[in-house]
Structure 1
Amino acid sequence: PISMYQASSSSIDCMIIGLSILSISYFIYMCRAQDNSLTIKNIAVFSIICLLLGLCKLPYLAFVILLLFVPSKKFEKDKKHNLPILLLSIAIVAVIGILWSKYSAPTLLHSWRSSHNLINSTMQFNHVIHHPSSISKFFYNIVFIEIPNMMTGVFSFFGAHQFHHYADRYHFITAILLIYLAFVLWAYPRNVKFELKTKLGSLFTVIVIYVGTCFIQLLTWASVGYFNLGISTRYFIPLFCLFPIVIWFKKIPFDAVKFDRYAMVFMIAFMAVFIISFATKYYWVI
């Protein structure tokens, strides 16, 4: 639900969500391509998409790592020839991203937190280096505090942040959306199966982006010596697209024709309930 909130805003998240969906879709396309069909062109296209995504939000440059988890048999050449090309593509994207960050990072000085001397990346980094225990505190914070806080944003239709922020919790619509999502995830794998390598690679990418984002927040948002990271659910909307790849569901035998009919009825019913519920809650005039 939170993705709809962001899609209706003027935030850069709109571009991030769009590019992330495009990159993951292309990744799935490569994983599902015919054997020996992918060429350097496909690698270049995916790398460019990931670069554009990373320029919008630096940690998402890590999406390019997914290249390493496309099954080797899908590429035109063997692994021995492809690996250097894949590593070179990843390196180019990383270098451009780092160069861009050197250009874009000074803009943080114009933020209200910086103008009020609430943050100092250099001092924060030095604090972490000289206080090793802060590393364990950081990981404890992002696992046991930030994740539970962000989960409240998942179940809130308009809530963009934690429980103490404004949120319009339309529980009925949220429940309908989650039921619809569960139905899609349950039925989706009947025609799709990803290799273990691809699943683990997707999970690895999720972890890298999450930890990387939290660390950047530590340097650019939190006060020196503190862990007020200001993490929001909206930062990680693109990662939700990778979870269906990571999570494995046993294939369920369906009568394809019969299933498609039920699916269409279910989708029509979902859209009808969705539209009527919104109309009655937000646009009903007495």
Structure 2
Amino acid sequence: MSEVKMINKRKKLIVTFIIMLILVFLFNRAMYWSEFSTWKNKLFVGVISIFGVICIPLLLTYIKAASDYIDTFIANKINQIKYLAAHWKKTLLFTCIFAIIIAAAVLLEKIIFSRIYDGYSNLRMYFFVGTGILIFAIVLCGKIAYKRVEVLFAAAALIMGLTYIMVSPRHLLVTWDDETHYLRSVSLADVFDNTKFNAEGLFYDSQPAAYMYTQGDLTQEEFKAILDNVEYQYEQKRTDNRFGSEVGKEFVAYTPAAIGIIMGKALRLSFFHTFLLSKMVILCTYVLLMYFAIKKLKNGKVLLAVIGLSTTTMFMASSMSYDFWVIGFTTLGYSFFISELQNRDKKLEYRNIIMMNICFLLGIAPKAIYFVIMFVLLFMPVDKFKDKKQRRIYYSIIVGVAIFLMMTFLLPMLINSPGTGDSRGGSDVNSTEQIKYILSNPIEYSGTLLNFLKDYLNLDYASEFISSMAYMGYGIGTAITLMLIAALMYIDRGEEKVRMPYVRASYFFSAAVCVVLVATALYISFTAVGADYIAGCQPRYLLPLLFPMAYFIGVDGVTTKINKNAMAVAAVSIMSYFFMNNMWATCF
């Protein structure tokens, strides 16, 4: 490995200052000061601008860890550029192939499919471009597939996700609760200047029209007129109406979408291009989290890639959602923990302890009821610690983070009382009365819970969290995906047998408790008082538990002669085929 060349601090300071100056300029350009903006908003933006222009360049230059990272990053990019220059013929060839794929996609739509389906469609053209580039990327990564599974995953996920974003409907009611996620994302983006555009409110209020359009009660022309009005209002920058949504503790999960909205405003993009950009930032965030989660593992990489590329997860990571945040960060947290189990000879480092807890803190914050899944972290093997002091610190941090997360949803209930519950559950929902019912009838509720879990955890309904695309329908591939996961649980593992009975048992226990708590929370907040069913507990809530469950069910030490490179390519190709096939229906 070549030595990383240190960059002159003065040059680094100047370059980072210029970069931050540009970013701060764009950030301020995104602000729209209206009658609703206060001096506090302007002061807040001013402080952020000063911090960005002055403090961040100083921190990046004079904090050793950050400075070293920048040196390494720049050195890697320089080496990559040199490699491309040295192999210019191959670079030119790949560029030509890329251009040919785009040209072929356009011709395929114009010459063949436009005649089959009576008209040219940009959506189908985007699909063909994405499919061609995806196949090219998988072939290109073929030789390093198992060695760099995270690269293969990132390439496939980015291409498929961007393709889906381009062909997906330009309205709400596409995925679960996307209207709420959009409202909260906009609220976070608008918190700086305290200005909400009328267009954002009109788009949020377009849900009934979107539903009527999908049901055939509204013509395409009528629905287009509604969306055109949204765009017109956005171009006029009208702000005379206000619409709400307070920013709560779950706001952290909407950071990527809010960044996309701010970027769109800074770049003066149209309303719907800004909407698409916000979903692209969501996708990139998910891919980055899963990239580092896969990279962190010693084995089980292909297993995680397959789960990360499942249709439902990719669909949510390419839509207005925050499930990607919960899944991505908790998976990365588990990867830190599992990587320690896979490297038993290496002592635990403090930075890994900190990163693992930050991941769980960020990932669980939007849905604090998942705090119980951190229980398994308490069973880190004793021989991983450097000394007793480190062990005490480790336990203290784990318990502290878990208690903090637990309190974020318990304290509001204790202080404000549970309230009446979620109005979407119906008029018979009353959280206070439901809690009284459970405490007065524990046996009856236990029976209701067990009957619910019998179906909820039944693999016959696995399509609900494997191949469901919410309001867009169901896709193919559920059975094969489950079989692929089952196979990889044993063949994508280490060759040496590893015994960790306490870790496995503690995880299964915590996962079971987590499912019970989630179901009970929905019974309290979303289900009619005394009902013999549980409403609103969607199977997608199992997704943060899927990878660690599969990993801890599987065992190491299974000898196989399977070509690992071919295994990685085949697995990613199969999952890519399912998602691309499932998105085809949206291209019309």
Shorter-chain TM-score range: 0.7 to 0.9
Counterparts in 2 of 1:56 and 1:101: CA distance versus 1, 3 Å: same
> Any gaps of 5 or more consecutive residues in structure 1?
161-165
Q: Alignment identity in percent? A: 22
Aligned partners of 1:47 and 1:64 also within 8 Å: no
Residue 19 of structure 1 deviates from its aligned partner by 0.9
* In 2: Cα distance, 1:149 partner to 1:119 partner: 30
Q: Residues of 2 paired with 1:148 and 1:253: CA distance?
A: 30
The residue correspondences of 1:123-272 to structure 2 (distance < 5 A) are 123-148=433-458, 151-154=461-464, 157-160=467-470, 168-171=473-476, 173-191=477-495, 193=498, 195-226=500-531, 227-249=533-555, 251-255=557-561, 259-264=563-568, 266-267=570-571, 270=574
SS of residue matched to 1:243: helix
Structure 2 CA distance for aligned equivalents of residues 229 and 275 of structure 1? 28
Tell me the residue number matched to 2:88. Answer: none
What is the TM-score with the length of structure 2 in the denominator? 0.41
Aligned partner of 1:215: which letter?
Answer: T
> Counterpart amino acid of 1:198?
V
1:19 and 1:53 in contact (8 A); partners too: yes
1:54, CA displacement in angstroms? Answer: 1.9
Unaligned runs of 5+ in 2: 1-310
Any idea what the Cα deviations from partners look like across 1:85-130, whole Å, max 9, x if unmatched? 344223322332244226776798694337x643222211111112
1:113 corresponds in structure 2 to 424
Q: Measure how far apart 1:44 and its partner are.
A: 3.0
Partner residue in 2 for 1:95: 403
- Aligned-partner residue type, residue 378 of structure 2: L
- In 2, distance between residues paired with 1:96 and 1:268? 38
Q: Which residue of 2 aligns with 1:163?
A: none
Greater Cα shift, 228-237 or 179-188: 179-188
After superposition, the C-alpha distances for 1:52-111 in whole angstroms (9 at most, x for unaligned) are 222111122123222212211111124xx5554344223322332244226776798694
8 Å Cα contact 2:422/2:526 also seen in 1 = no
Judge conservation of contact 1:124–1:224 (CA < 8 Å) in 2: yes
1:157 deviates by 1.8
Paired residues of 1:2 and 1:158 also in contact (CA < 8 A)? yes
CA distance in 2, matches of 1:211, 1:98: 15
Provide the C-alpha distance between the structure 2 equivalents of 1:275 and 1:12, rounded to a whole number of angstroms: 20
> Deviation of residue 200 (structure 1)?
1.2
Shift of 1:143: 2.5
- How far is the alpha carbon of 1:235 from its aligned partner? 0.9
Q: Which amino acid aligns with 1:113?
A: R
Instruction: Give how far 1:24 is off.
Output: 1.3
Which of 71, 77, 80 matches 2:387? 77
Residue type matched to 1:196 in 2?
P
Deviations 1:165-206 (A, max 9, x none): x673333x3344344434422311244745112211221221
Q: Considering only aligned residues, what root-mean-square deviation do their CA atoms show, in Å?
A: 3.3
Shift of the 150–254 alpha-carbon distance from structure 1 to 2, 3 Å rule, reads closer
Per-residue CA distance 1:196-243 (angstroms, 9 max, x = gap): 122112212211211111111121111111133321111110111112
CA change 1:223–1:149 in 2 (3 A) is farther
1:228-262 Cα distance to aligned partner (Å, 9 max, x none): 3321111110111112232134633234xx62343
Q: Supply the AA of the counterpart residue of 2:474.
A: R
Counterpart residue identity of residue 42, structure 1: N
Question: Is 1:4–2:301 an aligned residue pair?
Answer: no
Instruction: Write the distance in 1 (CA, Å) between the matches of 2:504 and 2:445.
Output: 28
Q: Which moved more, 1:37-46 or 1:3-12?
A: 37-46
State whether residues 36 and 73 of structure 1, in contact with CA within 8 Å, keep that contact through their aligned partners in structure 2: no
SS, match of residue 241 in structure 1:
helix
Q: Quick one: structure 1 residues 262 and 102, their matched pair in 2 at CA, closer, same or farther if it must change by over 3 Å?
A: closer
Are the equivalent residues in 1 in contact too, given 2:375–2:510 (CA < 8 A)?
yes
Residue 158 of structure 1: CA displacement? 2.4
Distance in 2 (alpha carbons) for counterparts of 1:26 and 1:37:
13
Asked if structure 2 preserves the Cα contact closer than 8 Å seen for 1:120 and 1:223, the reply is: yes
Matched AA of 1:7: A
SS of corresponding position for 1:263: helix
Contact 2:379 2:502 in 1 (8 A): yes
Shifted more, 17-26 versus 179-188: the winner is 179-188
Bigger relative contact order, structure 1 or 2 (CA pairs below 8 A, ≥6 apart): 1
1:259-280 deviation per Cα after TM superposition (whole angstroms, max 9, x unaligned): 2343255347536745774586
Preserved CA contact (<8 Å) 2:340 2:348: yes
Q: Show the 5 A alignment for 1:10-29.
A: 10-29=320-339
Q: 2:371·2:405 contact (CA, 8 Å) conserved in 1?
A: yes
Alignment correspondent of 1:55? 365
Give the TM-score normalised by the residue count of structure 1: 0.78
2:67 is matched with none
Partner of 2:478, secondary structure, is helix
Structure 1 residues 26, 119: CA separation in 2 closer, same or farther (over 3 Å shift)? same
Q: Is the 8 A contact 1:62 1:205 kept in 2?
A: yes
The alpha-carbon deviation at position 147 of structure 1 amounts to 2.6
Matched-pair contact (CA < 8 Å) for 1:218–1:229: yes
Deviation at 1:131, TM superposition (A): 1.8
Change (3 A) 1:155 1:23: closer
Q: Distance in 2 between matches of 1:254 and 1:246?
A: 19
Check 1:203–1:109 CA distance in 2 against 1; reply closer, same or farther (3 A cut).
same
